[in-house]
């Protein structure tokens, strides 16, 4: 089967001779129909997760691709051959989704919402999982918060914006000038153009600041946080304060798929309360063009590769 592999000298490239995986207990084999490209893929190819791969004994040939849609090939305890599913893998261990076939724990996947194409379904799981990790877990299902989302037009932000509205939050977004109308139409209550927005000058106080631009630190945001407010950096580390146990920080780390969370979001998808946002689609064989597209500024939502139309 074919899949993308990371070579030390050439980076991400296609390999047509990978061995088709066999599911372990609790897993199913899936034929991947669509898979998105994420910032994670470039980070992973650049070695950002190598220490974790080593620590967890990661032993699969494919290390890029976090979300997918596809068709179940083997019988599990919940899923049957022919079921259309979507899901998010484990961030470090197990098969990644830039491959024709993957094996994955049944608990990581959910039936695909029937109103979606494979391409649309592959653009959703990571955004849903991350948004629910914030709204359900970090702020414990609180409603009516004053939320600031920086980088709201990107692959996670488009879902954090939509799902935030479902928790009755007031959503203020910061996006590039070209995407201000787009994000307003997606449901944002207030929109700032990133070109003219400086958090240090904001007079508003927020209960939650989500930074998907990965540019801000806790120090940058402290003056703008409400009493008991929290700052959530997308890539928590020592430099942005995300790794600290500071009470004004929410530690965000979505380690693995959760079929129950995805199934819950499916109801919202079927009622069009969450819509998938796709920046561009590419055939899997055009992965080099798809990866290059990741560098473009002003994207909206996800870039998706198609293996089976």
Position 234 contacts ligand NAP (CB under 6 A): yes
User: By CB under 6 A, is residue 39 in contact with ligand NAP?
Assistant: yes
130 is a contact residue toward ligand NAP (CB under 6 A)? yes
* 182-185 LR contacts (CB < 8 Å, sep 24+): 182/153, 182/300, 183/152, 183/153, 183/158
Among 126, 149, 191, 209, binds ligand NAP (CB under 6 A): 126
Question: Pattern of binders to ligand NAP over 52-81, x per CB under 6 A?
Answer: ------------------------------
Q: Does 176 bind ligand NAP (CB under 6 A)?
A: yes
Residues 6+ positions from 265 with CB-CB distance below 8 Å: 124, 128, 132, 163, 274
Enumerate residues 268-307 that contact ligand NAP by CB under 6 A.
297-299
Order of strands, sheet of 206-211, starting from the edge strand that comes earlier in the sequence: 190-193, 170-175, 146-150, 206-211, 225-233
Q: Output 112 or 216, the one with its CB closest to ligand NAP.
A: 216
Based on CB atoms, which residue is closest to ligand NAP, 85 or 252?
Answer: 252
Tokens of 213: 């631009």
Q: Which is nearer to ligand NAP, 88 or 284 (CB)?
A: 88
| Residue 106: half-sphere exposure toward Cβ, Cα within 13 Å | 17
Angle, helix 259-270 to helix 157-166, in steps of 10 degrees = 70
Q: What CA–CA distance (Å, rounded) separates 19 from 95? A: 12
Q: Decide whether 74 or 256 has the Cβ nearer to ligand NAP.
A: 256
Identify which of residues 38 and 172 has a Cβ nearer to ligand NAP in the complex. 38
CB of 269 to ligand NAP, least distance (A): 18
Closest-CA residue to 255 (of 128, 36, 88): 88
Among 122, 148, 174, 210, binds ligand NAP (CB under 6 A): 174
* Strand 27-37, strand 67-72: pairing: antiparallel
Chain positions contacting ligand NAP, by CB under 6 A: 38-40, 126, 130, 150-151, 153-157, 174, 176, 194, 212-215, 234-235, 252-254, 297-299
């Amino acid at each position: 089967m074919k899949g993308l592999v990371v070579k030390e000298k050439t980076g991400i490239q296609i390999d047509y001779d990978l061995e088709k995986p066999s599911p372990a207990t609790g897993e199913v084999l899936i034929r991947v129909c669509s898979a998105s490209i994420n910032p994670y893929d470039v980070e992973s190819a650049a070695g950002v997760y190598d220490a974790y791969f080593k620590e967890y004994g990661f032993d699969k040939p494919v290390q890029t691709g976090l979300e997918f849609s596809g068709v179940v090939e083997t019988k599990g305890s919940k899923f049957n051959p022919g079921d259309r599913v979507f899901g998010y893998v484990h961030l470090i261990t197990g098969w990644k989704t830039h491959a024709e076939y993957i094996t994955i724990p049944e608990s990581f996947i959910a039936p695909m919402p029937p109103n979606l194409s494979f391409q649309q379904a592959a653009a959703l799981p990571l955004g849903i999982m991350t948004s629910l990790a914030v709204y359900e877990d970090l702020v414990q299902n609180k409603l009516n918060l004053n939320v600031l989302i920086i980088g709201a037009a990107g692959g996670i932000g488009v879902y954090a914006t939509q799902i935030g509205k479902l928790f009755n939050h007031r959503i203020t977004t910061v996006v590039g000038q070209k995407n201000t109308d787009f994000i307003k139409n997606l449901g944002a209550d207030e929109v700032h153009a990133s070109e003219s927005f400086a958090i240090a000058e904001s007079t508003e106080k927020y209960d939650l600041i989500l930074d998907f631009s990965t540019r801000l630190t806790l120090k940058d945001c402290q003056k703008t946080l409400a009493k008991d407010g929290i700052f959530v950096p997308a890539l928590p580390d020592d430099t942005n304060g995300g790794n600290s146990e500071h009470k004004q920080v929410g530690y965000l780390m979505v380690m693995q798929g959760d079929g129950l969370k995805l199934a819950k979001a499916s109801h919202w998808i079927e009622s069009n309360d969450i819509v998938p946002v796709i920046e561009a689609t590419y055939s899997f064989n055009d992965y080099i063009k798809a990866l290059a597209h990741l560098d473009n500024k002003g994207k909206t939502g996800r870039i998706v590769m198609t293996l089976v139309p």
